[in-house]
Structure formats: structure tokens, C-alpha cells
Structure 1
Amino acid sequence: MASRSILDPPPRESLARFRDRIPRYVLTVDTEEEFDWDKPLTRDTHGIEHVGRLSKFQEFCEHEGVVPVYLVDWPIANARLAADILREPLADGRAEIGVQLHPWVNPPFEEEVNQANSFAGNLPPALEERKIEALRTTIEERFGMAPLIYRAGRYGAGQNTADILRRQGIAVDSSVRPKFDYSSAGGPNYRPHPVAPYWLDDERTLLELPLTTAFWGMLRRQGDWLYPALWRVPALRGLLARVGLLERVPLTPEGVSVEEAIRGIDMALDDGAPLLMFSFHSPSLRPGDTPYVRTEDDLDTLYDWWRRIFTYLQQRGVKPSSVTDVMNAVER
């Protein structure tokens, strides 16, 4: 019994549906170490000083009635403070936990650290699996919960990732980022993948929850072929967005305004997306740790972004969800 490769667009019959037909959204947090995004990756030049900020964010989500899904990588899994903050919310169902693999900081350390190997799916299958297994086991030991969702760091799934996840008892993947292509850096091309959830195997035991990205503008119906055709001229992409012709909108507060995100939500819902997957990086909870949050004012803006988005989703009748809710509601 084998799974389809995460890298291959799925057949239409594998699309997943919810029994109640209620649209949902899930908030995922790429819970990871701080590092300089502009410098080459290394095994040891990183920090975890922002981890204490998870407490405030968790309280914020609880107040808003949202269950955040923390996708934890190796440095965070081994941070005692992270476990101290999240263990109780996880046990009470006020938060959920998953696996996020940054192979360059995750043992066993057998590969060269370079750009190609930063996409875990490029590693030898046995090494990719040993890294995932080491991280999954550590998360379960430290946080008291078996993770049921996986995201490859840098969205770097590979040909063997789906089968590895099944063997490791992980029922959900969220590595696919539709309308994005990382092949120029040695990573996957997710341009042709659907935004809607779909099954990665005929037995319906492994579910893909792609991150949500939508095209907006007068040319949005042509976005799937027009946007990639303009990759060599980013200035033209920017011009098309400014004049309302074509804009790519991922659902994240990092580099996307509230107004842009609302347009993306509207487009995704109008296209019939049953699930909206949001994401951002946990180091953005401390000013200076990502390019998106440099000051305390930026951090206030990030929290306000979520507050306004939650309000808009409620107005549109989109239900806050979680991995557990998704798995209970999906048709098999």
C-alpha cells in the first residue's frame, strides 16, 4: 500500500470534502529557531530567544476562540520553555502540535549543509525518515502528545515523503504551497497543485492540507499561467498588482496586508475552497527576528492583522477549525 508523491498534482477524485459542508480555517505556526534569512544556513548559528512570546500568542488565540497548530522543529522541540508553555494547552485541546523538519539543524547529521539539502525531500529516503522519526519521537516525549501533522521546512517535501509519513503514523501533511515554485533553488514546484484538501492515497489514510494562496484581479483566471510567465520581470508583477490586474495572495500576515488577505479569502471562498490554511513564522512574535516584524509597532500590527482576519472570517461564516476537527469532519 503506497501513497502518491506529494510532488504530483492529485487526480480530481482524490479531493476531500467535509460532511457538513461548512467552510473552515486552520491557523498554523511554523514554530522554529531564529536565524538570519539573508545568510547561508548553518547547523549552529541560530537562537530560540523568542520562545517566551508563545505564551502571549497562545492566550490571544484562546481569547479569539482559535486553536493554533504549532509545527515544531528540532531546536524548539528541545527548548524546555516551549514545552512548559504549550504542554497544558495541548493536553486541554486549546492547541495542537505537529512536526516541521529543518534538516540542517535536525539529527542525524550526515548530509552537507547546502541549499539543495535544505529541502528534506532531496535527502536519501532513509536519512529523511530518520530525521523525521527523531523529531516526531522528541516532540511526543517533550510535549506529551503524538504529532499528527507534518510540514517540510521550506515546503521541501519529496518523492518519498508521503510513504515516510504513513510509516511514522502521521495522518496529515501540509507541505504543499500551491501557486509557488521553488525549483530554481532545488525545491518542489507546487504551481499546478489545488488549494483544496485532498487524499494522498486511495485508502484515504493520509490527507494533504495545502496552504492557501489565491489570485486576485481582473486577470486572476489567467493567473496560473500568466504569473509564472512573468517570473523574470518581478517589477511587472508588482505593476499588475498595483493596478488591480493580477496579484498572488498567500494567507499570511508576513508581507500581506489585511486588505490583501481579505481579497485572497474572498477569492478562495468564491472558488469553493472548503478549507483556508493560514501560516506564519513564530520568530515574528519578537521584533527583529524576521524581516516582517522589526519593531513593537510591527508586532502590534501583526496581532491586529489576526484580530481583523478572525472577525472577517466570522462574518463570512468560516468556522475556526483544527487538525482534529478536520479529521473528524472529512468524508472518507
Structure 2
Amino acid sequence: MAMGNLLDPPSASARARFADDLPRFILTVDTEEDFDWDLPLSRESHDTRHVPRLAKFQQFCENEGVVPIYLVDWPIANSRTAQEVLQEPVLAGRAEIGVQLHPWVNPPFQEEVNQHNSFAGNLPRELEEQKLATLRDAIETNFGVAPLIYRAGRYGLGPNTADLLADQGIAIDSSVRPLFDYSSAGGPDYRGHPLHPYWVDADRTLLELPLTSSFWGMLRRQGDMIYPRLWRMPSMRGALARLGLLERVPLTPEGVSVEEAIRGIDMALDDAVPMLVLSFHSPSLRPGSTPYVRDDDDLDALYDWWRRIFAYLAQRGVKPSCVRDVMASVQR
């Protein structure tokens, strides 16, 4: 099988199309351990205290008619509480389960824990393969379903990842984050990747669903040229956003207001992006676990963000989707 390199932007002919013209969205949850975001990564200093709060979020999504996709890493895949909360809705089709690889907490432990190795795609092929297979098998054993979607922790794809995903029966990757460049930390540069879904291989067995980020503002068409030049000047980026000239908007409640997210949705739809990919980190469901949710008021605001965004998506005619819907509707 001729599998492409996920680090390379696709050709125009690789663009994926769907059986109908309805725009769609999926909600992906980076379902991971709690850790201190301000400290160096560690194999030991983490916990899963937020996991019981997934039950409330799952019920919230069901009430909104949305099927959340939980992309679980090793500590969550082996959490008895996570299994108790998620297995029944997953088996019933009210939620879906996928893979998220955090190599520093995922066996086998052969590499040094450092920033370079926190991007799984930087690991030797055999080690990335062993970690991925170990996690995929644990998810299938503990949740009762074979996962079909993958996201690399820290968006850390590598030159071997596509082949490894195909070998593990993964049909969808959602690690590409257009408009973002992680190369200064040793990770990938996704600035040349498109927002629209595309096939990674000529046989159309691996589908990429990039996370949705858009430029907004009077200079949005020049964003690819202007924004990267300002990485040393965050205050200038803020000034451009306040003046309505240029703003980068990822579709997440973490650090993005409802009004900003709505502008991002509008820009993506104006560009005819057929699949919007929204995301956030599960520890944000417990105040104090992430920088984005510090207290109960912040948590209420997070739920309100989702409520308002779901309502706006419905107003714009964007259909809630999930892995099984994507697999059934994408044209091969």
C-alpha cells in the first residue's frame, strides 16, 4: 500500500468529498491525564481526578444531540472510572472512542522524557509502533470496540505515522493543525496544510480530518505570510486582532471566546470547508486542572461556550457528525 507522509501537504487531487453538500462538525475530546502544564513532562506526576466529570459532559452532549469523540491516552485507557463512565455510551453509539498517544506516559518506556521525544513522530519507528499498538489494544480490550480515529499528542506526527496507523486499522487521523508551527519545539510545521479533509494515500484508506483554525480580519488572505513573522512579537499579534486586521482562531473553548469562535466558523464556511473539527482537553472539566478553567465560574462558561456554539452551528446548517457518519458519507 502506497501510504503518504502526514507531514507533507497533500496534492489538490487528494481532497476528500462527501456524499451530500451539508457541512459537518465533529467534537473531539483530548481525553488525557491531569498534569501541571507549567512543569516539565513526567512519567509519574499526573493523575486522573477529573475523569468522573466526563459523565456530566457526556450527558450534556447527549442532550445537545452531539456524539463526542473521546481520544484517550494510556492513563485514561487504563482508568477503571473512565471505563465505567464511557463504555456504555460508546457501545450504545452515543459516544465514540479513539486513540491519543502521549509517548511519555505510554509503555514501552525506552526513550528519555524530553521535549523532542514528547512528539511521538520523532521516536524511532519501532518504538512509535510499539507504543501505538500497546495503546490501541488496551482501548479495544477495556472499552469493547476497536478505535478507528487517532490524534498524536502535541499534534506530533512523524514520517512513519501514516504507515503505522494503517497497520493498526486506523481509518482517520486528526492530528494536523493548520496555521500552527511546532518546529521551534521540535514538532511539525502545519502551516502549509489545508483545512479541508483529504486522503493520505492513493488507495484512500487513511483520511485526514485537520483541526479547524482560520484567519479572520481584513488581512486574513495574507495571514500565511504575516502571522509567522510575528512569532517573537505576541503583543503585535494581539494588536492586529484588536484592530480587526488579523486573528488566528482555532475552534476550541480554551482561550477562544464565543464571538471569536463564531468568526472562525464563518471564515471556514466561507472557504467551503465541509468538516469542522472542534476540540478541547478533558482536564478542563475540573477547575484548576488546566490554565483555561480555574474555578466553577470558568467551568460554567465552558459549558455555555459549547451550548452557544452548538446553537450557532445549527443556525448555519452545520450537521453534527461522528466517525461512523464520516465513514459512511465520505466518497472513496
**TM superposition score normalised by structure 1:** 1.00
Contact 2:70 2:97 (C-alpha < 8 Å) held by counterparts: yes
CA distance in 1, matches of 2:329, 2:197: 12
Q: CA deviation at 1:209?
A: 0.4
Residues 89-128 of structure 1 mapped to structure 2, 5 A cutoff: 89-128=89-128
In structure 2, the residue corresponding to 1:27 is in which secondary structure?
A: strand
Contact 2:2 2:203 (C-alpha < 8 Å) held by counterparts: no
Deviation sequence 1:256-283 (CA, Å, 0-9, x none): 0000000000000000100000000000
In structure 1, the residue corresponding to 2:188 is in which secondary structure?
A: coil
In structure 1, the residue corresponding to 2:227 is in which secondary structure?
A: helix
Letter of the structure 1 residue corresponding to residue 10 of structure 2: P
Residues 24-173 of structure 1 mapped to structure 2, 5 A cutoff: 24-173=24-173
CA distance in 2, matches of 1:76, 1:211: 22
In structure 2, the residue corresponding to 1:48 is in which secondary structure?
A: coil
Letter of the structure 1 residue corresponding to residue 131 of structure 2: K
CA distance in 1, matches of 2:24, 2:51: 28
Letter of the structure 1 residue corresponding to residue 36 of structure 2: D
In structure 1, the residue corresponding to 2:236 is in which secondary structure?
A: helix
CA distance in 1, matches of 2:12, 2:143: 37
CA distance in 1, matches of 2:229, 2:221: 14
1:246 aligns with 2:246: yes
CA distance in 2, matches of 1:319, 1:144: 27
Residues 247-266 of structure 1 mapped to structure 2, 5 A cutoff: 247-266=247-266
RMSD: 0.4
Residues 197-276 of structure 1 mapped to structure 2, 5 A cutoff: 197-276=197-276
CA distance in 2, matches of 1:38, 1:10: 35
CA distance in 2, matches of 1:225, 1:46: 39
What are structure 2's unaligned runs of at least 5 residues?
none
CA distance in 2, matches of 1:312, 1:281: 22
Alignment match, 1:18:
18
Alignment match, 2:287:
287
Letter of the structure 2 residue corresponding to residue 138 of structure 1: A
Letter of the structure 1 residue corresponding to residue 260 of structure 2: E
Contact 2:25 2:320 (C-alpha < 8 Å) held by counterparts: yes
CA distance in 2, matches of 1:90, 1:77: 13
Deviation sequence 1:147-180 (CA, Å, 0-9, x none): 0000000000000000000001101100100000
Q: CA deviation at 1:21?
A: 1.3
Q: CA deviation at 1:312?
A: 0.3
CA distance in 2, matches of 1:328, 1:226: 39
Q: CA deviation at 1:2?
A: 2.5
CA distance in 2, matches of 1:2, 1:50: 41
In structure 1, the residue corresponding to 2:136 is in which secondary structure?
A: helix
CA distance in 2, matches of 1:194, 1:133: 29
CA distance in 2, matches of 1:251, 1:276: 8
CA distance in 2, matches of 1:139, 1:19: 31
Deviation sequence 1:181-207 (CA, Å, 0-9, x none): 000000000001000000000000000
Letter of the structure 2 residue corresponding to residue 99 of structure 1: V
In structure 2, the residue corresponding to 1:288 is in which secondary structure?
A: coil
CA distance in 1, matches of 2:323, 2:174: 11
In structure 1, the residue corresponding to 2:70 is in which secondary structure?
A: strand
CA distance in 1, matches of 2:228, 2:170: 33
Alignment match, 1:302:
302
CA distance in 2, matches of 1:115, 1:190: 18
In structure 1, the residue corresponding to 2:29 is in which secondary structure?
A: strand
Structure 1: which 4+ aligned runs deviate by more than 2 Å?
Answer: none
**TM superposition score normalised by structure 2:** 1.00
Contact 2:150 2:175 (C-alpha < 8 Å) held by counterparts: yes
Alignment match, 2:331:
331
Letter of the structure 2 residue corresponding to residue 160 of structure 1: N
